[in-house]
Amino acid sequence: MTELDLWNHLWMASGSNATWFIGLGFLSWVGLRAGQNIYNNPDTPLLMKISATVFCLFVANGWITNFAFSEWNANGVANAMTSIQEEGAILSSYANELIAATDPGAAFSLMPDVIQGLFVASILIMSIGPMWVKK
């Protein structure tokens, strides 16, 4: 395997993550709209509030999973680049930057970093919050 093969793998994986990102953006919008519609209609049944809340929690889980797979792919490629470097391959400066900026070989983790966690929390607050407060 060459450095170019590894870069191709990373970019293909990033394309898949980007597709999920777009879908999750749309689903977040749906959750935000549901929250506003429930807020604007005080006669919304409890079952609808619970269903919309569960939907928003699933969307949040999707964001966290998408972020985790993105990081895992970058860490895996950096780990593979480290391996081919140890076998004698000369890596580009970009590959060395990727290795330095990631955690090569780290296990898959759903724990988001601070910025990702704040992003997901803000979506949850803006979508679920209006569902459960009185107008």
Tally of CB atoms within 10 A around 27:
18
Token reading at 28: 């977040």
Predicted pLDDT at 135:
80
> Which residues lie below 8 Å from residue 135, measured CB to CB, with a gap of 6+?
39, 40, 42
Predicted pLDDT at 134:
86
Predicted pLDDT at 82:
97
Q: What is the pTM (predicted TM-score) of this model?
A: 0.90
pLDDT tens per residue across span 7-21 = 999 999 999 999 999
**CB contact at 8 A, 118 and 64:** no
What element of type H or E holds 33? Answer: helix 3-40
What element of type H or E holds 37? Answer: helix 3-40
Task: Calculate what percentage of the chain has a pLDDT beyond 70.
Answer: 100
Domain boundaries, the chain: 3-132
- Residue 65 predicted with pLDDT over 90: yes
Predicted pLDDT at 40:
96
pLDDT tens per residue across span 20-35 = 999 999 999 999 999 9
Model confidence band, residue 106 (pLDDT cutoffs 50, 70, 90): very high
C-alpha dihedral sign at 2, 84, 98, 75: positive
